[in-house]
Structure 1
Amino acid sequence: MRRILLTVLLLGAGLVHGSELPETDWLQLMPKSDQKALEAMPEIDHDSPEGDGTFTEKGGMKQSKGLPAVMYSTKTVASMNDKKIRIGGYPVPLESDAKGRSTLFFLVPYPGACIHVPPPPPNQLVLVRYPKGLKLDDIYTPLWVAGTLKVEQVTNDLADAAYALDAATVRVVQESDL
């Protein structure tokens, strides 16, 4: 009985090998009002110096002026706070340990978000803290990140995020996951 209870608890936490938390969709991090605003938004012009590969001193992910308000949205979904999730995305490395493993990075919903114009809204960026670190060879490598999500406003020179995640596990998405 004790063994069954422990297995149930570990399964619920997504910690038993081969058993992962269900996938959280990026749209679950965005309030319905923002989803509707994005659907109604006109097409964005990508003709800019950043779109051609020229970046200003502020970095590539900060939102430039003049976009629809939803592109700056920090509105969050309260029920996601302190929730254990597993989400797929792409890394934008911020800090590494002495061995070159990324310990702090933004997770973004599509590859190359650090160079695309415009970047995702802050409620579609997640700051990931992963003290164990992960060797990242390529920002175009998709990752699964699992841990506890927090509604937390994060601002740095590169980007603004509306969520942070204390990662328990980070792994590269495998062909068998698809």
Structure 2
Amino acid sequence: MRRLSILVLLLCSTFVHAELPETDWLDLMPPEDQRALEAMPEISHDTPEAGGTFTSKGGLKQPQGLPAVMYSAKTVAAMDGKRIRIGGYPVPLESNDKGDSTLFFLVPYPGACIHVPPPPPNQLILVRYPQGIRLDDIYTPLWVSGGLKVEQVSNDLADAAYALDASQVRVVQEDDL
């Protein structure tokens, strides 16, 4: 009986500490948005922001005149409340007194904060992580795990269609690839 109890405890701790399967960014877009994105013409990155200069409010906000899919905040209802693990790059918003980021946008590709146009709102996730993580480089990829919510978020920097209360945030390691 004791061996069975130990085996059950080991199995339970394995499941508790096992990482969630990876969620793909395209899982956050409805199929019609995926098709529209695939059919979209090439977009020019020739703007002042592309050089890293943000002279007006907007930051990650979409400029006018792009194809409609680039403004899409359409979400996938089945993702609401789902526990996910997703890889991406941070755009820091708030930090604690130690300088660790506690609130940031997660974006699907590096440099989304300086290369415009930014991803559509349904490809931006506001991450809340009260524990905080040291972010020395916005080009460092992260794994973020936690409960995803369909939640419209808008601030001076960006609009997002999802928010995630993170239970774990960690830097992607070479072994993960």
* Length-normalised TM-score, structure 2: 0.92
C-alpha spacing 1:75/1:170, structure 2 compared with 1 (3 Å): same
Q: How many pairs are equivalent?
A: 173
Aligned counterpart, 2:175: 176
| Distance change in 2, residues 1:163/1:43 (3 Å) | same
1:20 aligns with 2:34: no
Which secondary structure state, in structure 2, belongs to the residue aligned with residue 89 of structure 1? strand
Partner of 2:132: 133
Is the deviation greater in 54-63 or in 68-77? 54-63
1:110 to partner: Cα distance? 0.4
> Secondary structure of the equivalent of 1:157?
coil
Q: Measure how far apart 1:51 and its partner are.
A: 1.9
1:123 is matched with which residue? 122
- 4+ long deviations beyond 3 Å: 5-10
Structure 2 partner of 1:60: 59
Q: Give the secondary structure class of the aligned counterpart of 1:57.
A: coil
Normalised to the residue count of structure 1, the TM-score between the two structures is 0.92
Provide the C-alpha distance between the structure 2 equivalents of 1:85 and 1:37, rounded to a whole number of angstroms: 25
> Where does structure 1 lack aligned partners over 5 or more consecutive residues?
none
The one-letter code sitting in structure 1 at the alignment partner of 2:160 is: A
Alpha-carbon RMSD: 1.6
Q: Secondary structure at the match of 1:103?
A: strand
**Alignment of structure 1 residues 2-151 onto 2, 5 Å:** 4=8, 7-8=11-12, 11=15, 15-16=16-17, 19-151=18-150
Larger radius of gyration between Structure 1 and Structure 2: 2
CA displacement 1:100-147 (0-9 Å, x = unmatched): 010000000001101111000000000000000001100000000000
1:33 aligned counterpart, secondary structure:
helix
Deviations 1:62-92 (A, max 9, x none): 1110001100000000000000000000000
1:8 positional shift: 4.4
Give the secondary-structure state (helix, strand or coil) at the position aligned to 1:38. Answer: helix
The CA distance in 1 between the partners of 2:151 and 2:61, in whole Å, is: 17
Counterpart contact for 2:59–2:156, Cα < 8 Å:
no
Bigger mean CA offset, 38-47 vs 122-131: 38-47
Q: 1:5 to 1:151 in 2, by over 3 A?
A: farther
Q: Is the 8 A contact 2:60 2:158 kept in 1?
A: yes
2:161 match: 162
Query: Which ranges in structure 2 are unaligned for 5 or more consecutive residues?
Result: none
1:85, 1:2 → 2: CA distance? 30
* Cα distance in 2 between the residues matched to 1:168 and 1:50: 33
More helix by share: 2
- Alignment CA distance shift 1:157-1:163 (3 Å): same
